[in-house]
Chains A and B, each alone.
Chain A
């Protein structure tokens, strides 16, 4: 179906984004949908020697309840726990969070900080086989709701490399303590691959803060939240919207990073 001509159907996994707007979404009702829920191969969390792999139907709850995730990838568990409540966590999927491409997505920054990649699958023009392509998550977003993904491709899985991480921090600032969309957020990890600092709700896409990462790598001394200001000016471009202001997002991202990183790298 995805490979057939014309506009392919919209794949649906947990439906938590689609159904929230369903009753009044007249255009959405005209569209075709592809229900993936019966495709067993897409379910759950799998482990190989080098990777943890989330099937396209893997939910937040699958990760929260996976003992190896809890031990090895606490960043994912921390992110999952902040999303909606248990009802949403048990339906909503990591792949759906990636495909929905909200700049406020909470699953995406955690995955990006762990160097996740997206496995895309497509039919190969009726020849019978399947084509696969793997794209790094931090290269997956081209702009607001624009994905590095061709018509007819489907997210099959998300792969996260297994490596020791000495730092795993997930920060979410919402308009209340639970059940809130992120106004400013950050996922921070450190491994042999280096520092990863990923921010959400401060740019048209979830975005790696490479200038901040470089500061941390270099051990630059940071004595206050303002110490990150110059780097963040390069890394993020927050806006005023109905949830918050650009000024708040910029300032609080610096504050959240400063207080989270105090005592690490050059942050004092």
Chain B
């Protein structure tokens, strides 16, 4: 099926938050432009001594501007307003009050009709900060002066996994291999920057619409700050130009900002905030930087005996989602291998950087990079081929993961043969033949070196552990008077194809043509909370709920659960006809409903981190071929094969697009995307200086994507998650390929991104060690 909104996006007809009418269609006057005064460098941490308005003066008429700082918050919510952004914690203020914990923290909001005047007013406000010693390097223990927030050594969260007896197994192991692996931050660079419109409607309801992944997260944040129930707030998603996790938690912040400005402006006047690229890069969340240490015991045949893994992540200045990112990180840290003794010790460290948040992969790419690089380091130590080491250790059905989860087939599907999956990738990539060719090529070339790299990995599908059970996602499928059905979910389209696939799922389940299915605009007054659009859960979890809500709808109109086709539309129309003919009462809505229930047999213990971390996993084997130019030390990917088992593939075009796009995003993370930090703030916050791949950095033959399909009985149409796998595997596959290409020099590319500067540094280090 073709993408439903594809033509509108291609032709520019789609309306993003900044594209609507000047008055946002509300008839209450044109939107005021909202902007943010942020805490200035160099103080990444310190006391706010004073906020000075009116510096500079020139041409600013403050009487025409709406100004909000932290002192306004209680009063703007009937005296009950709370200066907290509700996420996992409530530590982050909506607007900094007496203290700032990172550079570019929001302090004052200003709105007005004249955008240029607002810009000048923002520049005219001076936030005076009395600096305190900031913690800017999460890798080292903080000094006493750097400890903050009452945390022990700035450890925001510590989580561990224990299986078997690691110390005893390491002591007995004939070979122990150690390694340290590091990955940097990453900016989402969604094509549409964060943007929101807020207003207070005639009934006093605080309304927000804009670019977001998770309408109910924004709703909950509004409820908390405005101290009201869900009747007092409304959130609507507009067409969203990409998210990648960057619009999971941050929209709550900008949503609160427009809502506060609108509340202060009064008169139902809408306020619009559209970040420019620089502000979006400086102020919003990024991928957590991460340092992982491995100490692994193996026998001479390469069998894993013990894995001792320490994971340390930079959480940034506030909690945001860091505990959950750390959780997913440590669960994936040991890789898709069987090892009888595993210990993972994970820490998220509070620093004074901009808060790190959700980003595609959610902690797993970082720990998978470490695990898969380390597998190649072990193989090199053993003199064994990297694919052979993996072949000997990949999980077989019936074996257990680090958390003690037994990996098994989901009847009636056969189990996943992870070794066969790897072999398929190796064959598709021409692994053995290419390796031979490279040996000859590298010997003959004076300045080019080619290499191949492999990664075998996994990604837990959906929320970790009991997450879905706590969430109790709810989905409605409404039967409309004209016989069409409307899918009502809070799960959002942000470019990944949700609208199309949900249409497919409902149309297939009910035997209707696609044009008889509508997917409702996510508006919290219309759609129930089907959960956030994250964690590769949309098609698998919400898609399954859509199927079940379709079945409920069929029962409500007096049909059997398996009814399909024209009878469905007729029954829906008849239901409405009868209700209206009976007359008198309010015109009823016909709604089929489904609420999440966990697949049978899934057990997870949050206290001990033992059990079934996920209902199921996606499995993958990726192969990268790279060429390193010794003139410039630049590595580029010349071929890429991505083979994965993701349950059923519902829309092959969209699925291939997800994988290819994810691989390209991961190429950027692996080779280019480097932050220039200054005082914990991003110094290269432009697309000129923060480098992401262009089409010329992608292999000429494209990303070669293959799927193995094993339907998962508890996922929508048999699906498992797809979207995050392609962020997990390319980093290590590319780094392993660079190591292979440069093996004559003995370099160990254990830190991403592998910028040319870093490759040069590794080469020089290796040469110095050699000399």
Contacts and interface: CB of A to CB of B under 8 A. Distances in A.
Interface of A: 20, 23-24, 26, 29, 173, 175-181, 184, 242-245, 247-248, 251-252, 255-256, 259
Contacts of B634: 173
Interface of B: 116, 119-120, 123, 276, 278, 446-447, 630-634, 636, 672, 676, 683-684, 688-689, 691, 693-694, 696-697, 755-757, 760
Given A24-B276, A248-B756, A181 B631 contact: no
B755 A175 contact: yes
Contact of B691 (A176, A184, A248, A251): A176
Nearest to A243: B689
Given A26-B119, A26-B123, A252 B632 contact: yes
Contacts of B691: 175-176, 180
A264 to B, nearest CB: 15
Given A24-B276, A242-B683, A245-B757, A176 B633 contact: no
Nearest to A242: B676
Contacts of A243: 684, 689
A176 B631 contact: no
Contacts of A256: 631-632
B195 to A, nearest CB: 14
B631 A252 contact: yes
Nearest to A244: B757
Nearest to A178: B696
B698 to A, nearest CB: 10
Contacts of B676: 242
Nearest to B630: A255
B636 A248 contact: no
Contacts of B696: 176-178
Nearest to A259: B631
A23 B633 CA distance: 36
Contacts of B632: 173, 184, 252, 255-256
A29 B120 CA distance: 11
A125 B757 CA distance: 52
Contacts of B688: 20, 181
Contact of A248 (B119, B689, B757): B757
Q: Which 9 A-B pairs have the closest CB atoms?
A: A242-B676, A175-B691, A177-B696, A178-B696, A242-B684, A248-B757, A255-B631, A259-B631, A173-B632
Given A175-B755, A242-B683, A248-B756, A26 B120 contact: yes
Contacts of A244: 757
Given A242-B683, A256-B631, A178 B119 contact: no
Nearest to B683: A242
Given A242-B684, A248-B756, A256-B632, 20 more contacts: A20-B688, A24-B276, A26-B119, A173-B756, A175-B672, A175-B691, A175-B756, A176-B694, A184-B632, A242-B676, A242-B689, A243-B689, A244-B757, A247-B757, A251-B760, A252-B631, A252-B632, A252-B756, A255-B632, A259-B631
Give the residue among B123, B631, B694 with the most A Cβ atoms within 10 A: B631
Contacts of B684: 242-243
10 contacts: A26-B120, A176-B672, A176-B694, A177-B694, A181-B689, A243-B689, A248-B756, A251-B760, A252-B756, A255-B630
Nearest to B447: A259
A21 B546 CA distance: 47
B414 to A, nearest CB: 43
B116 A29 contact: yes
A179 B276 contact: no
A37 B8 CA distance: 35
B116 A176 contact: no
Contacts of B119: 23-24, 26
A184 B632 CA distance: 9
A255 B630 CA distance: 8
A259 B756 CA distance: 17
B380 to A, nearest CB: 27
Given A177-B696, A177-B697, A242-B676, A248 B760 contact: yes
A26 B696 CA distance: 35
A28 to B, nearest CB: 12
Contacts of B116: 29
Contacts of B756: 173, 175, 248, 252
Nearest to A27: B123
Give the residue among A180, A242, A243 with the most B Cβ atoms within 10 A: A242
Contacts of B120: 26
A248 B634 CA distance: 12
Contacts of A252: 631-633, 756, 760
Nearest to A180: B691
Nearest to A29: B116
Contacts of B694: 176-179
Nearest to B56: A26
Contacts of B672: 175-176
Give the residue among A23, A26, A175, A252 with the most B Cβ atoms within 10 A: A175
A197 B44 CA distance: 44
A120 to B, nearest CB: 29
Contacts of B278: 24
A24 B697 CA distance: 31
A181 B755 CA distance: 15
A26 B116 CA distance: 9
A23 B116 CA distance: 9
Contacts of B755: 175
B349 to A, nearest CB: 25
Contacts of B446: 259
A184 B634 CA distance: 13
B428 to A, nearest CB: 25
A43 B632 CA distance: 37
A30 B117 CA distance: 13
Contacts of A179: 694
Nearest to B668: A176
Contacts of A248: 633, 756-757, 760
B389 to A, nearest CB: 33
Contacts of A181: 688-689
A23 B118 CA distance: 12
Nearest to B763: A251
A45 B546 CA distance: 64
Nearest to A171: B631
A173 B633 CA distance: 10
A255 B116 CA distance: 48
A180 B696 CA distance: 12
Contacts of B633: 248, 252
B276 A23 contact: yes
Contacts of B683: 242
B321 to A, nearest CB: 28
Nearest to B278: A24
A243 B756 CA distance: 11
Contacts of A251: 760
Contacts of B123: 26
B697 A176 contact: yes
Nearest to A249: B757
